[in-house]
Amino acid sequence: MNIFELSNIKYAYPDNTVALNDVSFNIALGEQVVILGANGSGKSTLLSILGGLIYVDSGIIKAFGESLNEDILNQPDFRKYFRQNIGFIFQDSDIQLFCPTVYDEIAFGPLQLGIPKDEVIKRTNDVINLLGISNLKGRSPVGLSGGEKKKVAIGSVLSINPSVLIFDEPTSGLDPRSQVWLIELLNELKKTGKTIITATHDLSIVEDISMRAIVLGEDHTLLVDDTAGKVLDDKDTLLKANLIHEHTHTHGNLRHIHAHGHFLGHLHHNKT
Ligand SMILES: Nc1ncnc2c1ncn2[C@@H]1O[C@H](COP(=O)(O)OP(=O)(O)OP(=O)(O)O)[C@@H](O)[C@H]1O
Ligand SMILES: [Mg+2]
């Protein structure tokens, strides 16, 4: 079963900046997919469309078999189902956190859903334990570090127990230990059958979190959709997408062209 089906979608912002052009792909239930692309290629826009936060200009996006548009998301039953099943973790945790304490933040979603209080308390404590943040329970989210805020933002979504998790640049701003923690968490969530869609330009985490990678080009089209391994080996596409770059410089009388970012070795050695 496909959770999402996108056919030739296009999106431009009100000032006519094109963000996505003719993008088509499907995402199946329980799949993990990474969306790769350089800055400005359209990753966050694509995630916002999947999350029902903005609507396509043309083409079709189906979610849970229904065409996603303003009308259907205004229908209370579908809206509730959609919001309960699609969890969105924003790149900037600050826009996601607004409660007086970490505990309240994590309990907020289930309370909004009308879940019985006993169950809310259990879920909140389970999520706090899963994320290892019981020491932060009584703190105000405002005063937390970036990495702590990210954990709380993830917790506020996990407590709703959505079947689909959408992460926008989850590792940005995290130190190496927190990045490893996040990758391990994504793998734990994968084991529980969650569908996980992650936007990143960090090639080093792709294979750790996903079997499949979709690359958006700087022209906002879909360049490739393949296994993570094949995409990471496809140097031409990664160069074209600006996910790695070559630059020329001189060491003594040797001119090198380096590929940076992922393929660390030298591509060519030209004696000048
Ligand atoms: N609110 C907006 N109004 C106008 N243009 C926008 C707006 N938000 C994004 N854009 C433009 O849409 C394009 C896609 O932006 P988007 O934020 O989706 O890229 P991204 O791949 O997520 O980039 P990054 O890696 O920097 O997060 C860019 O050209 C961007 O300038
Ligand atoms: Mg973005």
Ligand 1 interacting residues, C-beta cut-off 6 A: 13, 15, 17, 19, 37, 39-45, 201
CB 94 within 8 A of CB 83: no
Position with higher pLDDT, 263 vs 22: 22
What is the rounded average pLDDT of the residues 111-128? 95
Q: Phi/psi zone of residue 64: left (φ > 0), alpha (ψ -120 to 50 degrees), beta? A: left
Q: What per-residue confidence (pLDDT) applies to 248?
A: 55
Looking at the CA of 37, name the nearest ligand.
Answer: 1
Q: What gap in Å lies between CA 88 and CA 179, rounded to an integer? A: 18
Q: Which ligand is nearest to the CA of 201?
A: 1
Domains detected in the chain: 2-241 (3.40.50.300), 242-272 (no CATH)
Over residues 194-224, the pLDDT tens digits come to 999 999 988 999 999 999 999 999 999 999 9
Phi-psi sector, 242: left (phi>0), alpha (psi -120 to 50), beta: left
In sequence order, the 6+-apart residues with CB closer than 8 A to the CB of 180 are none
* pLDDT tens sequence across 153-200: 999 999 999 999 999 999 988 889 999 999 999 999 999 999 999 999
Question: Can you tell me the distance from the alpha carbon of 133 to that of 148, in angstroms, rounded to the nearest whole number?
Answer: 8
Centre of ligand 1 to C-alpha 10, Å, is: 14
Least confident residue range of 60-74, 87-101, 254-268: 254-268
Three-class DSSP category at 115: coil
Q: Whose CA is nearest to atom 24 of ligand 1?
A: 39
The pTM for the full model equals 0.91
Compute, in angstroms, the gap from residue 3 CA to the centroid of ligand 1. Answer: 24
Token digits for 154?
Answer: 């993830």
